[in-house]
Amino acid sequence: MAHKAGQCSCHGEQKLFAPIKIRTRRPKAKLPKSIKVAKADEAIFRRVIEAAKKACENAYQPYSQYSVGAAALTFDGQIYTGFNIENCGYSQTIHAEEAAITGALSDGLLKRAAAQGVDQFHAILAVAVYAPKGSDPWPCCNCRQFMGEFGYGMHVIGEEPKDGSILCLTLDQLVPYAFPIEEVLKSVRGQR
């Protein structure tokens, strides 16, 4: 007798299942409406966006050919830049937003902030993202989670490719049900 899967006891009983259907509707996700940038902030936001564009020129992207630049504006007016650095292992790729924020942290951002009474959730005011092949400045989900470690109230900015206007959202608009990092930190520090 031939040994066939599903017809002998060594494979157990073969069970066939009919596909199920979920009837709960799936609404189309909509991006929130861009925030109108205050006139007083336009100049600094443009500087941050230009810094992200310049950083993009240094991207190391031999696998995707997709350059990304980012710039982080800190509470004390410093601008830190970063760009994507790809790795053939893919998961080791460094994203531009991570590089920019890591640069700020390496330069003592959190110590400077603490000395001024500013916590980690308010030390970074805005992050600009620029990808010349992209259609918008919104960070990937990995970067959104990384950025959230430093506050979901920060502005995420970039340029509208069609007309050059400033696009602006807050990180909490891009991540509406974020992991509650502030609560977690309070808990591990014994503050709750």
Of residues 129, 1, 125, the one with CA closest to residue 66 = 129
- The residues annotated as belonging to the active site are 97
Torsion angle (degrees, nearest 10) of CA 98, 121, 140, 155:
-110
Any idea which residue has 């960070």 for tokens?
139
Q: Going by DSSP bridges, is the β-strand pair 166-170/155-159 parallel, antiparallel, or unpaired?
A: antiparallel
What b/e readout covers 59-76, taking b as 16+ CB neighbours within 10 angstroms?
beeeeeeebbbbbbbbee
CB 170 within 8 A of CB 35: yes
